[in-house]
Amino acid sequence: MEINQLLSFFEIVKTGSFSKASENVYRSPSALSHQITKLEKELKIKLFERLGKTVKLREEGKMLYDVIGTFLNDLENLKKIYEDMRDCVCGSLTIAATSGVTRYVLPAIIAKFMDQYPKIKCKLITSHITCEIHSMVSDDQVDLGIGPNPNQPCPQDLVFLFWKSFDRILLVARNHPLAKKRRIELPEIAKYPLVLPRGGITIRKNIEETFLQEKVSYEIAMEMDIVENIKKYVEMGFGPSILSSLCITPEDKKTFALFNVNHIFGKGDYGIYLRRGKYVSAAMKQFITLFAPELLVQLPPHTPLSLSNAMTVGSVRHKG
């Protein structure tokens, strides 16, 4: 049994594709197929069910994945530990964050981080949907993710470090009928078409669930990805919107009538996502120190992750 065979097997399951795995391990899909066949012969088990170009992981394969997963993750962590020992201000850091966090929170922090640690290569990926951030952190495409905590349990293979709660804010044009109100309730909001973030975003799910639970119907005038575009069309009179206070600027307070609607929609919790069992590098710690130093005490100890419990393995595309 060769470690390259185990690495190839691990990448196939992790990426869900022979072709993607081949890119990560720098071998052709046919070479990977040959390695898996050789590994199966040596272990005298079948790791995958082969159905044409599609393969499905068998129970025997899940057992192997669970056994080698912790070892390979620890091996990768070991590389990062020695990098930190050599020079704690070198290395790389990749962050995934929601568009609101990217625009309204991170610019000053990223600028300060890059100024203090110019030898650390920093990459920032913006995602509109929290579950995409979950996937990137789980698949180790990014070192950490920053975004809201949906009203559901955190994925088992992730750790959520709570940072801050933000209010839900109703945003209306100054000349809108709702602007004259002192306190607003859900039925009053429902009288007007809404300008909302697109489906799939955490705050949009919260809005939909609230209307559904209260059995109040509503109309959508527009759906948009970018918060600044939402603000523009609210200002033009297309309808109210509900946004996180994270996205409200001092200029917005002059432009719009703003109402705290926590009593209707609740608050939104934001924080940092880490992959459970991932080594927290010096670069990650330096960033967290600048972002929210109080989160350092929440960092979990390095705990091996049982991969069979952390993810469900489905079908894998086999090309080779």
State mean pLDDT over 256-284: 92
Query: DSSP string spanning 282-302?
Result: HHHHHHHHHH-GGGGGGPPP-
- For the segment(s) 88-165+270-298, the CATH number from 2.40.50.140, 3.40.190.10, 3.40.50.11890, 3.90.230.10 is 3.40.190.10
Query: For position 38, what pLDDT does the model report?
Result: 86
Q: What is the pLDDT of residue 305?
A: 38
Query: Average model confidence (pLDDT) for the chain?
Result: 84
**Averaged pLDDT, 180-191:** 95
165 band by pLDDT with thresholds 50, 70 and 90: very high
Specify the higher pLDDT residue, 88 or 133.
Answer: 133
Domain spans, the chain:
3-83+307-317, 88-165+270-298, 168-266
Average pLDDT on 282-289 reads 90
pTM of this structure? 0.69
DSSP H helical ranges for the chain: 3-15, 18-25, 29-43, 59-86, 99-104, 106-116, 130-138, 186-189, 202-213, 227-235, 250-255, 262-265, 282-291, 307-310
pLDDT for res 63: 80
| Residue 316 predicted with pLDDT over 50 | no
Backbone φ, ψ for residue 239 (5° rounding): 150, 170
Percentage of residues in the chain having pLDDT higher than 90:
51
Domain 168-266 superfamily per CATH = Periplasmic binding protein-like II (3.40.190.10)
- Return d(Cα 320, Cα 22) in angstroms, integer: 10
Distance between the two ends of the chain, CA-based, in angstroms?
A: 21
The CATH class, in words, for 3-83+307-317 is mainly alpha
By the 8 A CB rule, do 135 and 269 touch?
Answer: no
Same fold across 3-83+307-317 and 168-266: no
pLDDT attached to residue 89: 61
Bigger pLDDT: 180 vs 150: 180
